Amino acid sequence: MKVITRVNAVPLWRVSPDGLEPVHAQKFSVETDLEDMVESAPDVLGEKLLVIGRQVTTPLGRVLDLLALDENASTKVIELKRDRAKDDAVGQLVAYGAWAATLGRAELERIFSDYSMQRRAVAGTPPGLNEAFFEVFGVALPPRVNQTQTLTLVARTIDAATLGAVRFMRDRDLPISVHLVGSYSARGETWVTCTEWIDLDPARDRPISLRAQFQELHVATVAAVEQGTSQLLVQLRKQQPRRTGHERPFFRKGTHGDILCFALLYMPRFTTAYVPYSLLDALYDWWVDEQAALGVERVKPAHNFPHQLAIAIELAGGWRKERKYWDEDPSLVNERLRFLVRQWILPSRGQLLRGYARN
């Protein structure tokens, strides 16, 4: 059976006065050594994580190595192998992931409470999940947790059968990652490396994953809206008065194209009869960050954003400005777009809101 030893195939060398000295690879003596390493520094897996459980026993009696939350409060299931990972490890991960998908907020808080009591040698009451989440990510734990689950396999080496199982899952858009770790020693010191395995096999003609297709569709949609935005702005500039005194603030700002593009892109996608301004404000902030991740710079003015947004929505058509009390509109409770905005929370009954209603 072919075994992949990518990490250990690249030797380390130490620079000394006598020249280069080889740093010898070594195995982890016990699996708990690897668990200790990842638990103490989960960032080694390439993202910020909050570990909420170790050696977690599932209802079926199986024991999960590590359970963590990412910045979106979604669970990450981590299985560790101190030596070689075999294909049955992928099956274990799938079983753990299926169990993790059933965990609600109360179960996650209970798991973290048990973990804190066992692992944190502090005086008094250990911090709760909300407190720990804010400490790691700098934001409050969102109202909706564990919306998705990701699987992570960590091992020193991995065989070809296991990689085949991982490829099979990825081709079906199941989120699984593989990290190869190495331990090296020289002159009484120990170094550890951790490398994520990326499938770069050009011989495999895999179909584009569903997630990649959505990404391409999203980019194409924004590009089409951008083109329509540019054409609309040209027409508006031709129609606006020549005198500066008659120009509206919307047309004097360099951000008007971004705001108009946002309104044309998202206002038609709301299915509710009434959209609070606070939701649009938070959604625009999310859009700016999302576009930055794609390499596109969007600008939100520090002042006058509400007025510019109102003009853009008016130009988008179909909406009128309205001030009303929140009446727990059931359609907005189920509005999917608001799930993109973690920091926006449903208003309380009777709360006065500014917003937009359909014509």
Q: Residue 83 maps to which CATH number?
A: 3.40.1350.10
Is residue 114 in a domain?
Answer: yes
Predicted pLDDT at 212: 62
- One domain, residues 192 and 93: yes
pLDDT in tens, 197-214: 776 554 555 555 656 666
pLDDT at 278 over 80: yes
Parallel, antiparallel or unpaired: strands 189-196 and 176-186: antiparallel
pLDDT at 4 over 70: no
- One domain, residues 180 and 225: no
User: Where does a domain end: 196, 229, 258?
Assistant: 196
pLDDT at 251 over 70: no
pLDDT at 280 over 90: yes
Name the residue type at position 9: A
150/161: higher pLDDT:
150
Is residue 263 in a domain?
Answer: yes
Q: Binning pLDDT at 50, 70 and 90, where does residue 244 land?
A: very low
- One domain, residues 186 and 269: no
pLDDT at 130 over 90: no
CA distance 266 to 299: 17
Predicted pLDDT at 284: 92
Residue 209's nearest CA partner among 168, 164, 165, 161 is: 168
Contact in structure between 255 and 308 (CB atoms under 8 Å): yes
Is residue 205 in a domain?
Answer: no
User: Where does a domain end: 153, 171, 196?
Assistant: 196
Predicted pLDDT at 240: 59
Is residue 203 in a domain?
Answer: no
Is residue 218 in a domain?
Answer: yes
Predicted pLDDT at 349: 77
CA distance 341 to 199: 32
308/171: higher pLDDT:
308
Strand pairing partners for 195? 180
- One domain, residues 27 and 167: yes
Task: Say if pTM beats, i.e. exceeds, 0.75.
Answer: no
Domain total for the chain?
Answer: 2
- One domain, residues 109 and 162: yes
User: Where does a domain end: 139, 164, 196?
Assistant: 196
- One domain, residues 136 and 279: no
- One domain, residues 163 and 239: no
- One domain, residues 82 and 162: yes
Q: Binning pLDDT at 50, 70 and 90, where does residue 253 land?
A: very low
Biggest distance spanned by C-alpha atoms of the chain: 81
Is residue 80 in a domain?
Answer: yes
pLDDT in tens, 39-84: 888 888 888 899 988 988 888 888 888 999 988 888 999 998 877 7
- One domain, residues 216 and 142: no
Which domain, by its residues, includes 241?
Answer: 210-358
- One domain, residues 225 and 305: yes
Is residue 317 in a domain?
Answer: yes
Predicted pLDDT at 142: 83
pLDDT in tens, 82-128: 777 777 788 888 888 889 889 888 899 999 988 888 776 554 567 78
- Average pLDDT of span 328-346: 80
Contact in structure between 97 and 84 (CB atoms under 8 Å): no
CA distance 163 to 47: 22
**Residue 328: which region, alpha, beta or left (left: phi > 0; alpha: psi -120 to 50)?**
left
Residue 273: HSE in the Cβ half-sphere, 13 Å Cα cutoff: 7
Is residue 26 in a domain?
Answer: yes
- One domain, residues 134 and 244: no
Predicted pLDDT at 77: 92
- One domain, residues 188 and 226: no
Q: Binning pLDDT at 50, 70 and 90, where does residue 29 land?
A: low
